[in-house]
Amino acid sequence: MPFENENTYIKMVENGQEDLFHKEFEESLLKVARFFDKEYPNLVDGEVIEEEKLVHLSPLDGKTPLGKFQMSTKETSQRAVKIARGSYREWYSIGYLARASIFLRAADMLSQEKFEFSALLSYENGKNRYEAMGDVDEAIDFMRYYALNLIENQGFVRFTGTAYYGEDSKSVMKPYGVFLVVAPFNFFSITVGMVSGPLLVGNSVILKPSSDIPLSSFRFVELMHKAGVPKANLIYLSGSGGRVGRTLYTDDGVDGIVFTGSRDVGTKIYRESQEKRPKVAITEMGGKDTIIVTQKCDIDKAVEGVARSAFGYNGQKCSACSLALIDEKIYEAFKKRLVDFTSKLSVGDPRRRETFTGPVINREAYEKFQRIMGTVPKEKILLGGRTIPRDGYYVENTILDNVGDPAIERVELFLPILALKPTKSLKEAVEFVNSMEYGLTGGIFSEDRKEIEYYFENVDVGVIYANRRRGGSTGAMVGSQPFVGWKMSGTSGKGTGSFYYLQQFLREQAQTIVRQ
């Protein structure tokens, strides 16, 4: 039986409930204000208050305080590791069915609160209502899919037969002990998925949330505790990655790290975490996601697929298209159509129903956009290129015309900046993609089956799509499209939302009993 995704908005539209969707979301925008401007403790088998604080401001206006969070100390971090390590065996011992049941219960609880969680994300990381709801839906999908996968595999225990007469053997996959999760700002679902994998199979987890979505992460941890996860096995520690994260990933009591973020930070964690002993290090480090558009494309489909992939959530997705390679024979026509389509995508307050793109995440991203645009010749800017004069961190969706600058064409920008580049052939385009350090997602638009097959057979990228109008390189769905990075985009070669994912957090033990 196929896995059924949550898909709230799509299902409500199909059932004639689109107006109800908007009504419930807008009511939730008012309800979640009760969580704002309060102090939130660290959760270390109890509440912990630190001397130093972090004030979390909304990117919608750059000044509304959403909460005050703790800057974790080295002492708190080390204590968290000891608590987590001392309790993981008890959590594992309740059995895979009990743990899976807790996760399925938690998924149902999150489903009941999904409008509030999605409204909260609009305030925290600036997502419009459709992106925010899709994000929470994906979090629910991760929890259910992984729980069902654990049940289907019977806790990853297999009998392996008799090598010698009178012996019975089996393979048992067991938890390592303690995993640190260092989560990104752009997807609540990534935080949930990164926590769910190691925790579900019996490890303790310490979550260091992004400082840009600490409130939704805090509420998720509270929900998991209410669902039945012991507080000693899921710990919440807020603070800066440089201070708190490094203290934890270099601690000898931490067995593994799950990280999503930039290449520079990911490689640093991968390298430094191994200094004392080998550790599991699962890192997803972004991408320079490229869509190829051939002469044989449906140009309307290609224009929409490229634009939605490039500018959905301001290009702040690790799967966002930031480079489009266009066959030179249709280059001029394509860029004109793309500019026209993109100019109609509204930028503004994400709480408004008609908004396509909200603010970038913080002042650092806003200033990075300004620096990048300061290096681009004005004649290369086809659309956008400017900040928007209003409170908050708003910038224009930007399209660049064949800049030829490696800093634009080969570096992950994580902003609503799309570079276009003409190519002579599909072969040349694929070779350009394969020459990049990254290999996360990509796509092709062509109505020629042989061109699609050539792309699929030859491109060195983990997640690829053909003719995807809803997003030419974005929108992987749990269960059907495992999300995996190749080359510098990831270290494990196993995708999230995949049947291979859970085993990364387990180590194999061969057990043999000699019959009497």
Q: DSSP strand E in 424-505: where?
A: 438-439, 441-445, 463-466, 486-487
Task: End-to-end CA distance of the chain: give it in Å, rounded.
Answer: 43
pLDDT digits (tens, 9 = 90+) for 245-272: 889 999 999 999 999 999 999 999 999 9
Please count the structural domains in the chain: 2
Which residues make Cβ contacts (< 8 Å) with residue 113, sequence separation at least 6?
A: 223
Q: How far apart are CA 405 and CA 409, in angstroms?
A: 6
The verdict on 219 and 207 lying in the same domain is yes
Residue 111: other Cβ atoms inside 10 A: 17
384 secondary structure, DSSP code = -
Is 86 among the domain residues? yes
Domain with 38 in it: what CATH number?
3.40.605.10
pLDDT of residue 108: 98
Is 486 among the domain residues? no
Burial of 301 (0-12, 13-18, 19+ CB in 10 A): middle
What SS3 class is residue 355?
coil
2 secondary structure, DSSP code = P
The verdict on 273 and 293 lying in the same domain is no
Is 484 among the domain residues? no
What average pLDDT does the segment 170-194 reach?
Answer: 97
Q: Catalytic one among 138, 318, 321, 409?
A: 318
423, 327 in Cβ contact below 8 A?
yes
Is 3 among the domain residues? no
pLDDT digits (tens, 9 = 90+) for 106-138: 999 999 999 999 999 999 999 999 999 999 999
The verdict on 323 and 266 lying in the same domain is no
pLDDT digits (tens, 9 = 90+) for 75-118: 999 999 999 999 999 999 999 999 999 999 999 999 999 999 99
Is 438 among the domain residues? yes
The verdict on 333 and 274 lying in the same domain is no
pLDDT of residue 293: 98
The verdict on 299 and 268 lying in the same domain is no
Report how far apart, in Å, the C-alpha atoms of 36 and of each of 68, 122, 349 are: 9, 13, 18
Is 381 among the domain residues? yes
The verdict on 202 and 342 lying in the same domain is no
CA 428-432-438 angle, to 5 degrees, is: 155
The verdict on 277 and 294 lying in the same domain is no
Asked whether the predicted pLDDT for residue 411 surpasses 70, the reply is yes
284 included as an active-site residue: yes
297 included as an active-site residue: no
User: Could you give the angle at which helices 114-125 and 129-152 cross, rounded to 10 degrees?
Assistant: 120
Asked whether the predicted pLDDT for residue 1 surpasses 70, the reply is no
Report how far apart, in Å, the C-alpha atoms of 217 and of each of 152, 203, 452 are: 28, 19, 40
The verdict on 310 and 172 lying in the same domain is no
Q: How far apart are CA 87 and CA 201, in angstroms?
A: 14
pLDDT digits (tens, 9 = 90+) for 155-176: 999 999 888 999 999 999 999 9
Q: How far apart are CA 442 and CA 440, in angstroms?
A: 7
Burial of 169 (0-12, 13-18, 19+ CB in 10 A): middle
Is 482 among the domain residues? no
Asked whether the predicted pLDDT for residue 2 surpasses 90, the reply is no
What average pLDDT does the segment 470-491 reach?
Answer: 94
Which residues make Cβ contacts (< 8 Å) with residue 490, sequence separation at least 6?
A: 282, 283, 284, 285, 440, 462, 484
* Percent of the residues in the chain that have a pLDDT greater than 90, as a whole number: 96
Q: What is the domain extent for residue 103? A: 8-285+492-514
Asked whether the predicted pLDDT for residue 445 surpasses 70, the reply is yes
Domain with 455 in it: what CATH number?
3.40.309.10
Q: How far apart are CA 243 and CA 264, in angstroms?
A: 16
The verdict on 35 and 82 lying in the same domain is yes
Q: pTM, whole model, 2 decimals?
A: 0.96
Of all helices (H) and strands (E), which one includes residue 417? Answer: strand 417-423
Strand-pair category, 417-423 with 398-401: parallel
Q: How far apart are CA 418 and CA 369, in angstroms?
A: 12
Is 483 among the domain residues? no
The verdict on 246 and 121 lying in the same domain is yes
The verdict on 73 and 217 lying in the same domain is yes
pLDDT digits (tens, 9 = 90+) for 268-299: 999 999 999 999 999 999 999 999 999 999 99
Q: Catalytic one among 116, 124, 138, 284?
A: 284
Report how far apart, in Å, the C-alpha atoms of 59 and of each of 56, 66, 273, 351 are: 9, 10, 32, 12
Which residues make Cβ contacts (< 8 Å) with residue 364, sequence separation at least 6?
A: none
The verdict on 260 and 319 lying in the same domain is no
pLDDT digits (tens, 9 = 90+) for 13-60: 999 999 999 999 999 999 999 999 999 999 999 999 999 999 999 999
Over the chain, what is the mean pLDDT? 96
